[in-house]
Structure 1
Amino acid sequence: MQNSYTPESTAVSQDGHLRFLDGLRAVAAVFVVIHHQQQPLPTGDKPLLLQLLYRFFFHGHYAVDLFIVLSGFCLMLPALRNNNQLVSNSPLLFFRKRAQRILPPYFLAMALSLLLISTVIGQKTGTRWDASIPVLPFDLFTHVLMIHDIFTSTAPKINGVFWSIAVEWRIYLVFPLLLLLWRRLGGFTTTLLTTTLSLLVWHVLSVMQLPDINLTQWGLCPHYLGLFTMGMMAAYIAYSPSPLCAVIQKKTPWLLLTTVFGVSILLATRFDTLLPWVYTDVLVGLGSVCLLVALKTGRFGRLKAWLSWQPLVLIGTFSYSIYLIHMPILQVIQQYLIFPLNLDALGTTLYLLFIGTALVICLSYLFYLLAERPFIPKKKTTYQQVSSISVS
């Protein structure tokens, strides 16, 4: 009997778009939303369900790691069609297109956050949102220049998730250089070199202990350049016409490696005092690489089909909007819907999990229609375009 979970039939839309990538974005975005819903565990007896939810969604940072790897993966796909060069062969045109795609929703989300702060959520209430207020002129200045992640005092202000937008924006600025290194040194050397140097930068800054320089999990994150390059490598292995990549793709036990890295991440999280957190991020990056290649090669057929499920794909298409505005929405929900009900910790968690998540997704879709979709380029890189790459 024919397998209903064929590698590409359920994962590629009629226009060839890789739907499982949107599914992964949706999972990562919803994970971050639920992570930011979690409240500190109450003292005394703790309901088992509350403990499980808190522990499972505690490391929302790992979802951001996945976003960075996915970003490298997706930006590398068009370059593979052009001999590892920018499609336009113009860094300035690439920067302009990235700015058009990323910056308008970011600034509109900032305006929305500031409006809500000035009207309904400008007072501290003991939630995660407290770190975002008050907003000082320097906070606004650094956010406009997208350097707010550099400073501990400014990174969480206005909207606590904006730090990663600044990190990713700087990575875009060096993407043409990464492609140049890719052509000169090769993909594997470039990935190893970039990852090593980015970790070295983090260690040097840690030793220097510069005042107010933000080296936390929601800060500068120089090692994200390495994770981004890992995403490029995943695309290279999965779709490059190189004979070496074909052998690696076929012979490597991707399913086993994904499992091994998954277990390693759990162990590193459990014994986090023994290993700097940036190395756990590297494990997440490597695990994401293995997962992406495994999905492409059909090793996770059922998972790939589930990630290609249309409702999940739809959520993934506006995951950027979900990420941008979910925190102020959650604060409005807590402050004006939950607090008046005087719910206990478990009741608050369940309310946010089901009603809060649904409201965030619905309102984020409206934001997407108004503030994101108008700036999305019409033409997408398709699976057929990528898979038809031939050796020149």
Structure 2
Amino acid sequence: MQRVGDSIARPRFDFTDGLRALAAIAVSIYHAALFTGGSGEFLASFPIAGRLLGLGTLAVPVFIVLSGFVLMLPVARSSSLELRGGLREFVKRRARRILPPYFISLAIFATTIGLAPALQTGHGTEWDSKVPITLGGLVSHLFLVHNLDPAWIYQINGPAWSVATEWQIYFLFPLVLLPLWRRFGPIVAVGTAIALGVATIVLLPSIAPAHPWFLGLFAMGAGAAWMTHHAELRRAGAMTVLAAVIAIVLTIGVHVVWVSETACGAAIALLLYWLSLNARSGRSTRAARILSYRPLVRISIGSYSLYLVHSPVLAAGNIALLDLEMPYPARLLVMFVVVLPLSWLAGWIFFRLVERHFLTTHQAILRPDRS
């Protein structure tokens, strides 16, 4: 392991944006298939395709690793590993970026469900876990703790559970992870984060759906950011490929979610480190060029909107199609050709009307209407 020189100019890491865009697209495609017809019908009809598209569920671990990487980058430049502006400013920045779109989307979908009788029952589809809306479910969503109870976690808007998990990690980052990092170094900090996540599901299995092991994934992303500034691993590219192969094997062959997602997190963290190392050295790789493709980078700016909006739109589209007599492949085709693009359009509209007003400085610079 060699130390990376501090004199290297700070490069742009646009590949993080491209990776985020691909993850958002992948999870929406998987959900389009999952929401088609009755609950479990897609997986029963197309088991192999279901396993492959099911890799789209790894989008959320990718988001978490990216979050750890991006948030740690400026911290890693500080010799004292201090947050810019301290804890209060960090929480304020994160709250401004994440919470307004979340609360506005929550209000929109809760109101829509309340006004649309067709959405108030599940119809034997994947929408079953989203309704009915209970008082506890609504209140827990307002305080972003709905991920801690299986009865609340998927109500109103299924994917929103991960927003609560990430919001909770934002507090553990400065209060637990960084103090460990300063005192004991990155290996102990990352290892402790992984251990805490796994211990939580062992001791409190009822909150396993909240994916507490995501703390370890966030720490892996932070570790990749730290290494970008402080260390150079030999053969990082080969290690990334090996980690990716292991992650794919575990995802397909081992049906233990925390194991496959942790392996995926390690592979993504290594990928980010390897791409960053090449960027700092001025080396161009095909992977970086693909992930830095301008349309992907632009899509990534609204990826949070896409993630927040797509699931209820897909569910509504599927419910609207239930009364139409058609073979399942035709129903699936309509979902992919019509309803899925409509969910992307809804995400774009939500971005234009809501999310773009709460972008970070980096994202605002990349905003499509700025060029």
- The TM-score bracket by the shorter chain reads 0.7 to 0.9
The reply on whether 1:118 has 2:114 as its aligned counterpart is yes
- Secondary structure at the aligned position of 1:146 is classed as coil
Please list, as runs of the form range in 1=range in 2, the aligned pairs for 1:121-132 lying within 5 A after superposition: 121-132=119-130
Which residue of 2 is the match for residue 210 of structure 1?
none
The reply on whether 1:266 has 2:245 as its aligned counterpart is no
Which residue of 2 is the match for residue 186 of structure 1?
185
Letter in 2 for 1:284: C
Please list, as runs of the form range in 1=range in 2, the aligned pairs for 1:237-248 lying within 5 A after superposition: 237-238=227-228, 240=229, 242=230, 245-246=231-232, 248=233
Please list, as runs of the form range in 1=range in 2, the aligned pairs for 1:131-280 lying within 5 A after superposition: 131-177=129-175, 178-206=177-205, 213-215=206-208, 219-238=209-228, 240=229, 242=230, 245-246=231-232, 248=233, 251=234, 253-273=235-255, 276-280=256-260
- Residues 54, 271 of structure 1: alpha-carbon distance in 2 compared, 3 angstrom cutoff: closer
Deviations 1:315-354 (A, max 9, x none): 1111111111111111222233x34543322222233233
Normalized per residue, which structure has more helix? 2
- State which drifts further: 297-306 or 254-263: 297-306
Deviations 1:121-157 (A, max 9, x none): 2232232122100101111011111111111111010
Which residue of 2 is the match for residue 386 of structure 1?
none
Find the aligned partners of 1:167 and 1:358 in 2 and give their Cα distance. 28
The reply on whether 1:360 has 2:321 as its aligned counterpart is no
Find the aligned partners of 1:43 and 1:221 in 2 and give their Cα distance. 23
Q: Report deviation, 1:55.
A: 1.8
Deviations 1:351-372 (A, max 9, x none): 3233333222221111012221
The reply on whether 1:285 has 2:285 as its aligned counterpart is no
The reply on whether 1:349 has 2:332 as its aligned counterpart is yes
The reply on whether 1:38 has 2:33 as its aligned counterpart is yes
Q: Report deviation, 1:296.
A: 2.2
**Structure 1 stretches of 5 or more lacking a match?**
1-14, 207-212, 383-392
For normalisation by structure 1, the TM-score amounts to 0.81
- Residues 60, 286 of structure 1: alpha-carbon distance in 2 compared, 3 angstrom cutoff: same
Find the aligned partners of 1:366 and 1:107 in 2 and give their Cα distance. 16
Q: Report deviation, 1:107.
A: 0.4
The reply on whether 1:93 has 2:86 as its aligned counterpart is no
**Identity, % of aligned positions:** 32
- Secondary structure at the aligned position of 1:161 is classed as helix
Please list, as runs of the form range in 1=range in 2, the aligned pairs for 1:330-345 lying within 5 A after superposition: 330-336=314-320, 338-339=321-322, 341-345=324-328
Find the aligned partners of 2:305 and 2:55 in 1 and give their Cα distance. 21
**Structure 2 stretches of 5 or more lacking a match?**
1-9, 35-39, 366-371
Which residue of 2 is the match for residue 307 of structure 1?
291
For normalisation by structure 2, the TM-score amounts to 0.86
Contact 2:65 2:265 (C-alpha < 8 Å) held by counterparts: yes
Work out the number of aligned pairs and report it.
Answer: 344
Letter in 2 for 1:304: A
Q: Report deviation, 1:306.
A: 1.4
- Residues 357, 313 of structure 1: alpha-carbon distance in 2 compared, 3 angstrom cutoff: farther
Name the structure, 1 or 2, with higher relative contact order (CA <8 Å, separation 6+). 1
